[in-house]
């Protein structure tokens, strides 16, 4: 079974530039998550989709971050403009079925973003 795919794996940009990350979840998984993981910390949920609808985006900095999930499958996360404190690993995860928290989350390898 193919896992969660993310691209790019690494990205270096200057502050105030824009960047986009792509995620392809495991086939058939209804729920998709984007996490931000700053070095030395645990992942922090940015946004959660159920199919193509947003379930939770309470911790998404909406002035600069945006995300969409086209047709309930692939998803993109965009940062515009980037700040130095956005340097982190951005993890995408997916889980099968509905919003039950008993569903195991499967994580992609992440995109490491460095903002200079």
- Identify which of residues 5 and 20 has a Cβ nearer to other proteins in the complex: 5
Within positions 25 to 84, which residues make up the interface with other proteins, using CB under 8 A?
40-45, 48, 55-56
Q: Which is nearer to other proteins, 105 or 114 (CB)?
A: 105
**Phi then psi dihedrals of residue 6, to 5 deg:** -135, 150
SS3 51: coil
Parallel, antiparallel, or unpaired for β 10-13 and 111-115?
Answer: parallel
Q: Which is nearer to other proteins, 55 or 116 (CB)?
A: 55
Using CB under 8 A, pick the residue from 61, 66, 107, 114 that binds other proteins: 107
Task: Report how many residues bind other proteins under the rule CB under 8 A.
Answer: 24
Distance from C-alpha of 57 to C-alpha of 66, rounded to nearest angstrom: 10
Give CA–CA dist 11/78, Å, rounded.
13
3-state secondary structure of 86: helix
Dihedrals φ, ψ of 72, to 5°? Answer: 70, 20
96 near other proteins, judged by CB under 8 A: no
Choose which of 82, 93, 113, 115 interacts with other proteins (CB under 8 A).
Answer: 93
Interacting residue ranges for other proteins, rule: CB under 8 A: 4, 40-45, 48, 55-56, 91, 93, 99-102, 104-110, 112
């Amino acid at each position: 079974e193919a896992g969660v795919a993310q691209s790019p794996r690494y990205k270096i940009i200057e502050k105030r530039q824009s960047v986009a990350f792509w995620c392809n979840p495991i086939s058939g998984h209804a729920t998709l998550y984007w996490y931000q993981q700053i070095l030395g910390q645990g992942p922090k949920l940015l946004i959660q989709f159920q199919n193509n609808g947003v379930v939770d985006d309470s911790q998404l900095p909406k002035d600069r971050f945006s995300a969409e999930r086209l047709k309930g499958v692939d998803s993109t996360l965009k940062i515009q403009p980037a700040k130095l404190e956005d340097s982190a690993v951005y993890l995408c995860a997916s889980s099968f079925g509905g919003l039950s928290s008993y569903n195991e989350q499967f994580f992609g390898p992440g995109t490491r973003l460095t903002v200079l």
